[in-house]
Amino acid sequence: DAKTTQPPSMDCAEGRAANLPCNHSTISGNEYVYWYRQIHSQGPQYIIHGLKNNETNEMASLIITEDRKSSTLILPHATLRDTAVYYCIVSLGSGNTPLVFGKGTRLSVIA
């Protein structure tokens, strides 16, 4: 079973920041927080991951609370192409550990 809880859906205006929350209150000390997204009828796309520090890359920023029980994915300037289902996943991050997907958040970016 997935160890994360996400809202089922969110809307965001185009050009605004999209902030997607995730609760992972049972995360263990050596588990990472991963974010993926899936655009309709495609394979999931890796976005970002982190352990305890905040992370930023060209796609997004990941903010992890100090107690690591929740995190927020931030898309700084959402576009229509960011409309997708976003999955927050906790995982050991080892090469032979599969990712367990929950239901994710369906983000709709509106013009």
SS3 81: helix
- Nearer to another protein (CB atom), residue 13 or residue 51: 51
1 vs 67 by CB, closer to another protein: 1
Strands 18-23, 70-75: pairing kind: antiparallel
Sequence-ordered list of residues with C-beta below 8 angstroms from that of 51, at least 6 positions apart, any chain: 32, 33, 64
Task: Name which of 40 and 67 has its Cβ closer to another protein.
Answer: 40
| CA-based nearest residue to 78, from 42, 105, 50 | 105
- Please report, as ranges, the residues that interact with another protein according to CB under 8 A: 32, 34, 36, 38, 41-46, 49, 51, 87, 91, 93-96, 98-104
